[in-house]
């Protein structure tokens, strides 16, 4: 691999399994010392063991992201174990999928606490450390297609993931002078999380049996394994991505993509402002043909390969 992260250190939240484990292993394989974080002590230790077996360096912090204490502990552990923190990947996440009218306060709060607050508190702790050290840094956040488009049954998750991309764009402005880049990866991969989505249950089972995935799955659905996503995180963690900041970058299976910032699709002006009748007319004349659908649109999984 041409990317060399030797002498650098990284924190990867939620890296006991799935995408986080793939990020942690790939960063360690590129030479970084990695702080593995998860709420599950066994899986966190398994990731550390896998990294060490590959000849890499890793330590585990078993604690839930969300509270400030965990964020401080993650940065302190990186400093203690590796002398510094260069890269933060805020990957930890949970799903509590329900339609709006069945979403409980507890489920909403857990998803927002883990994704949105967990990203905020860990990034804040990392930014404080990186700014004080004055050598720049890399912060890689994790969005989702659900946050980019909205998705049926994912009120809390779509809200948290959209908020995370908004924070990436905001922090890219605030941290630019310190040489810290902030980008959001928008991943798709077959993991325990995807296997809970009914439409992907069969694909996930086939993947687990080691069967090759059809082209429609790897390309249009952008679904492969976690190892198909990890190279983007390695590149964003490296000096090679200097100058790339505030971006939302999609990756999964065979697909790599760049998301736009939401744009105004049409603009019209009315001297003195608008009344409801004028808006109704402008809607008909200017905007109705520009309306965009909500939701993720994908071809059926039984389409020809």
Residues of this chain that interact with ligand NAD (CB under 6 A) are 13-14, 16-20, 37-40, 43, 64-66, 91-94, 114, 118, 142, 144, 187-189, 191-194
Q: Closer to ligand NAD by CB, 96 or 136: give it.
A: 96
CB of 276 to ligand NAD, least distance (A): 40
Residue among 9, 15, 43, 144 flagged as catalytic: 144
CB of 247 to ligand NAD, least distance (A): 16
Q: Closer to ligand NAD by CB, 77 or 114: give it.
A: 114
Count the Cβ atoms, other than its own, within 10 Å of residue 231. 17
CB of 285 to ligand NAD, least distance (A): 38
CB of 17 to ligand NAD, least distance (A): 4
Look up 255 and say whether it is catalytic. no
Q: Closer to ligand NAD by CB, 273 or 299: give it.
A: 299
Look up 43 and say whether it is catalytic. no
Residues 64 and 62: their CA atoms lie apart, in Å, by 7
Residue among 43, 161, 207, 238 flagged as catalytic: 161
Q: Closer to ligand NAD by CB, 127 or 204: give it.
A: 204
> CB nearest ligand NAD: which residue?
18
Q: Closer to ligand NAD by CB, 266 or 295: give it.
A: 295
CB of 8 to ligand NAD, least distance (A): 22
Look up 200 and say whether it is catalytic. no
CA distances from 101 to 42, 108, 135, 154, 155 (A): 36, 12, 48, 11, 10
Count the Cβ atoms, other than its own, within 10 Å of residue 291. 10
Q: Which residues are catalytic?
A: 144, 157, 161
């Amino acid at each position: 691999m041409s990317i060399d992260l030797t002498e650098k250190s990284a924190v990867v939240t939620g890296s006991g399994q799935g995408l986080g484990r793939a990020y942690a292993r790939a960063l360690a394989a590129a030479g970084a010392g990695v702080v593995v974080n998860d709420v599950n002590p066994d899986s966190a230790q398994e990731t550390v063991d896998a990294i060490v077996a590959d000849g890499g360096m890793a330590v585990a912090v078993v604690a839930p992201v969300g509270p400030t204490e965990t964020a401080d502990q993650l940065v302190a552990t990186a400093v203690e174990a590796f002398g510094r923190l260069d890269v933060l990947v805020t990957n930890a996440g949970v799903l509590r999928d329900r339609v709006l009218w069945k979403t409980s306060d507890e489920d909403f709060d857990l998803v927002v606490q883990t994704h949105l607050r967990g990203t905020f508190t860990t990034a804040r702790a990392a930014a404080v450390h990186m700014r004080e050290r004055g050598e720049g840094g890399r912060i890689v956040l994790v969005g989702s297609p659900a946050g980019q488009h909205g998705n049926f049954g994912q009120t809390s998750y779509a809200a948290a993931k959209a908020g995370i991309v908004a924070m990436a764009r905001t922090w890219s402005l605030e941290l630019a002078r310190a040489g810290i880049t902030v980008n959001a990866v928008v991943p798709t991969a077959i993991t325990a999380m995807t296997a809970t989505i009914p439409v992907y249950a069969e694909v996930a089972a086939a993947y687990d049996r080691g069967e090759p995935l059809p082209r429609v799955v790897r390309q249009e659905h952008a679904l492969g394994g976690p190892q198909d996503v990890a190279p983007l995180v390695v590149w964003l963690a490296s000096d090679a991505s200097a100058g790339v900041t505030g971006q939302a970058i999609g990756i999964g299976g065979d697909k790599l993509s760049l998301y736009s910032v939401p744009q105004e699709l049409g603009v019209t002006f009315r001297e003195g402002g608008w009344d409801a009748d004028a808006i109704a007319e402008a809607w008909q004349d200017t905007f109705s043909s520009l309306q965009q659908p909500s939701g993720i649109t994908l071809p059926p999984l039984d389409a020809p390969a």
